[in-house]
Amino acid sequence: MMTLQQAIGQEKIAGHKAFIPYIMAGDGGLETIKPTILTLQQLGVTAIEVGIPFTDPVADGPTIERAGERALAAGVTLKKVLQALASFRDEITVPLVVMTYFNPVLAYGLDAFAQACVAGGVKGIIVPDVPLEESKILREALNPYNIDVVQLVSLTSPPERIARIATASQGFVYAVTVNGITGERTNFATNLEHHFARLCQVSPIPVMAGFGISTPEQVKRMGELGDGVIVGSAIVTALHEGEMARVEALIEASKGVYAKSTL
C-alpha cells in the first residue's frame, strides 16, 4: 500500500486533485465500516479519513457530531474500529487516516495503538486537540511504524507558525478553509488564495484543503488552491441517507487537469 504522500503524488501525475472523504466509523453500526471503505476506494478516492466517535468532539460541527453520537450509541470504540479494519486489511488498497482525539489514544496506550493501526492499514493520524508544540509524543510513538502525524493549519496562523507546522507535518498539511468547526458552508474567506499560496510555498509536502467543502463546485474551486480536498459533512450526510450518487459527484469533481486558481 502507498503512503499518503505517494497516493497524493500519483493523483498529481495523472492531472487530478487528491480527494479524501471523511467517514464516521460505525455510523450505522460496525458492520458498515467494511462496505463503506471498499465502495469508496472502488469509486477512486485517494485516501480515506476514518473518524472515531468521541464524546467531546471540539473540532466537529453538528453533522459529524450527530454521526458520532449514532456510532457511540451502537457501541463503537477506537479499539473496535481498528479491529474491524484489521479484519479486511488485505482488501484495503488506499491509505487510511484515523481522525481521533488524544484521550482515546492515551487510554489505548500509544504503542498498542500504533501496532493496531499497522494491522488495520492505517498510514496516518489526525489528532486536532494535540497542537504542534505537544505533537512530539505522537511522532515518537508512530513514526517507527511508518505512520504519519498530520498537522492542521488554521487561517489565523501567523506566517512563522505556518512554516513551522508545514515543516513538522507528515503525509500532507491539512489546511483549514474556515474559521470554526466542520460543516457545510456557502461562503469562504476572501483571502484563501493568498493564504494557500503562502502555505504551498513553504510546505515540503502536499497541501489539502478541508472544512466546509460540500459541493462539486467547491471541490473544484478549493482543489485548485493546493493538492486536493477533504470532504467530511457532505459525505457523512450522503452515506447516512444512502445517496451514493452525491458521493460519486463529489469524487468526480476532483478529476481532470487543473489550471491556476482564479478564486
Check if the beta carbon of residue 4 is closer than 8 Å to that of residue 97: yes
Catalytic residue among 11, 27, 60, 148: 60
Has 227 been annotated as catalytic?
A: no
Residue 34's SS3 state is helix
Q: Strand runs (DSSP E) across 30-160, as ranges?
A: 48-51, 96-99, 122-126, 148-153
N- to C-terminal Cα distance for the chain?
A: 35
Catalytic residue among 11, 27, 31, 49: 49
H-run or E-run covering 176: strand 173-176
Has 49 been annotated as catalytic?
A: yes
Closest CA to 11 of 229, 173, 176, 202: 229
> Which residues are annotated as catalytic?
49, 60
